[in-house]
Amino acid sequence: MRKISVVGFGKIGQAVVANILKYDIKVTAVDINPDLKRVFETGSYEINEPGLKDVLLSSFQSGKLEISNDFSAIRDSAAVIVAIPLLVSRQKAIMDEPFLECFKNIAPHFNNNMLIVIETSIPVGYGRNTVVPVIESQGKKHGKDFLLVHSPERIKSGTMLEQLLRTPKVIGGVSKEATDKAYEIYQWFFDKSLLHLVDSIEAAELVKLAGMAYRDVNIALSNQLAQFANTIGINFADLIPLINTDGEANLLLPGIGVGGHCTPVYPYFLINNFKNAGLDFQLASESRVINDQMADYSVSLVNDKVKNKKAMILGLSFRPNVKEDTFSTTYLLNNALKAKGFEVTVHDTEFSVEELKKKEFQPAKGLYESGAEAAFLVTMHKEYKDIDFKKLAASGVKYFVDGRNAVDRKKVEEAGMEYFGIGK
């Protein structure tokens, strides 16, 4: 049976593995977390990503999926897909020691031009100029022992398996031989029509980063237009669908901020790439500043109105009903509120009270027991669609900042609260 190894068995890695397993290919998942295998052995594996649990558990039980924390388990693989995160600091600086250490650990097991595919998003030039030298420092040679390719993952939590069936898969290698081999092997578990070859590994690296920069710049434009509209009394958020009917515009929605693993991070990769090339990616730099300052702007909407300086933030997750908080706007908003002297509590439907405390937030006693005068909606969890605004007002909330333009303004105002949207 054909065998593929996937190094990094987190959420992205699990989606990649599940997709491969559907094509009757054996998969070895390698991860340094020693508890992962036990979780599968006891049948206690849980995940909120649709479709993954059934595929992974049944494959593990049948022996098609092997889970190991031993890097030598990648031996005899047709390809090794690397899906471990490239870590960045709160200041968005790359912390790549764990990422590169992974390659040092798997390199001794490379031979016979084993295909190595990086699915993690990386800066342009990083594969050729950083990863290849690290692997070759372990005594291996590109074109003899291994072939390196980048094929950036472009999936988001909530519909990962579905996206893998329809999102074009970009492939670019350090050499033509590497690209061609990846093209051949990826046809085992992707429809050939989805595979798109580019001229180099650098070209493949640029694809995901350019997409994220576009998204960030687009949102920054909407956020600035929203602030202008707020000032002169125009409902900009509701105009966006009309603006986009001309066939030329494709404005995204304004909001209280941009969170997640990708959009707030990858523009910095390109900003540094530009700097190294003697250029200034001013547009991306300004967009990052604009989007991160939306937390301060949202506070400014109510700062001069409140009396008791108590606020409640609704939502920590950066995406609705997904338990992930990487670079969540809530961190920026929490700091912005505290800088203005607010006492801040956080409510979230995905994170427990203890989990919120571990992240150094003060958990709200309950949605209707916070004692807050101002409430800020950061994440539109489905549970928040059923907010009893009259009950919320009775708990003391006078000002409701709808950071996602997602609730019914009329209901908020009928409950006796003042409503503030982002451009609405």
The structural domains of the chain, ordered by start, are: 3-199 (3.40.50.720), 233-424 (3.40.50.720)
116, pLDDT greater than 90: yes
pLDDT digits (tens, 9 = 90+) for 338-397: 999 999 999 999 999 999 999 999 999 999 999 999 999 999 999 999 999 999 999 999
- Give backbone dihedrals phi and psi of 84, rounded to 5 degrees, phi first: -90, 150
What average pLDDT does the chain have? Answer: 96
Look at residue 232 in the predicted model and tell me its pLDDT.
96
Mean pLDDT, rounded, for 202-213:
98
Look at residue 198 in the predicted model and tell me its pLDDT.
98
The alpha carbon of 282 is separated from its chain's Cα centroid by a whole number of angstroms, namely 23
Residue 119 class from Cβ within 10 Å (0-12 exposed, 13-18 middle, 19+ buried)?
A: buried
157, pLDDT greater than 90: no
Closest to 422 in 3D by CA, of 411, 414, 412, 409: 409
Beta strands 94-95 and 87-88, pairing class: antiparallel
pLDDT digits (tens, 9 = 90+) for 2-42: 999 999 999 999 999 999 999 989 999 999 998 999 999 99
Locus of tokens 């968005």: 92
**DSSP letter (8 states) at residue 142:** B
Mean pLDDT, rounded, for 220-236:
97
